Amino acid sequence: MESMRWIRNFLTIVLALPLVALLIIPVLVISGLLGRVGFIYSAARLVIRTSLRLLGVRPEVRGLDPGVFASAPVIVSNHLSNLDGPLLVSVLPVDPRVLIKAEARKIPLIGWIMKLAGFVFVDRSSAARRQEALAEAIGKIQRERRPFLVFPEGTRSRDGEAREFKKGGFVMALRAGVPVLPVRISGTQRLLPPGRKLCAAGSVRVDFFPRLDLSGTAESQLPGLIRDLHERIYLREAI
């Protein structure tokens, strides 16, 4: 089992890196110079889906209705593993912008591509900087009508249980006038838990739930609404 895991991960690196090298110049030209941001997502999906196949990661998607993305919702998801972000980008039928911690901007090349793709980096060291990031994200939603992906736990779960949700993503949706789209990921922590470098093979689940309309909701009501959503969806066992 361990030897097969090494082989799969080695093959993924050997085959995915040349694919990245082959795509990086077109990404720089088409997205960086010509402003075709969608090409970044197309290239990323090709690399991610190829890598997931090589690793033996088999996504099962339930409840996905492409029509819900016309309203540019804020997509909120639990966070179990480093697989979660790439997995969601690979299965979503749209190109989501992402609210991501500022430290990711320092990753060589990847951080620059994230910025080019319209990601918003959150410096959590001060409330003022968090508010600046929220304002930037809200502006992008309203101008570009693109969904935003947010992991409201702020970090990966260490035990597989959903941690308490922070309200930033919900405030974004409320102020931008768009709904929240809850997504629950199951199984990624088993394949690549925090601290492990090698990804195991196996199936994972991505469940989409009905949109949550925040119109008529006051910001003071958000904590109760978030607790209810957390208990109703994220503390349930996957069926």
- How many domains does the chain divide into? 1
pLDDT tens by residue, the chain, 239 residues: 678 898 899 889 888 888 888 888 888 778 777 778 888 999 999 999 999 999 999 999 999 999 999 999 999 999 999 999 999 999 999 999 988 888 888 888 788 888 888 899 988 788 888 889 889 999 999 998 989 999 998 878 777 788 889 999 999 999 999 999 999 999 999 999 988 889 999 999 999 999 999 998 999 999 999 999 999 999 865 44
Q: Model's pTM, two decimal places?
A: 0.90
Residue 159's domain spans which residues?
Answer: 58-234
Amino acid at 132: E
* Residue at 4 is within a domain: no
* Residue at 103 is within a domain: yes
* Residue at 3 is within a domain: no
* Residue at 81 is within a domain: yes
* Residue at 50 is within a domain: no
